Amino acid sequence: MTERASNFMKAIWDAREHGADTEEKLVAFILRSGAEYIKSYTAQNELIVLCRNDMVELANEVEGLK
């Protein structure tokens, strides 16, 4: 279990309890907040690039929580 995965799941449960009262709102929260937990880089054109491999790693970490 990683601290990052635990914190991510806690944020999701907190959102569920405080306003994300539909599946659509919860999924939107997960997508938005996921970007905060995934490594990112700034490209030369000032765009923010998320690391796909880190996203998959976070998903694996969350899946491994018990």
Tell me which residue of 37, 34, 66, 39 sits closest to 51, measured CA to CA. Answer: 39
- The pTM (predicted TM-score) of the whole model is 0.81
Total of domains in the chain: 1
The domain of 39 spans 3-63
What tens digit of pLDDT does each residue of 10-66 get? 999 999 999 999 999 999 999 999 999 999 999 999 999 999 999 999 999 999 987
Secondary structure of residue 62 in the 3-state scheme: helix
pLDDT the model gives residue 40:
95
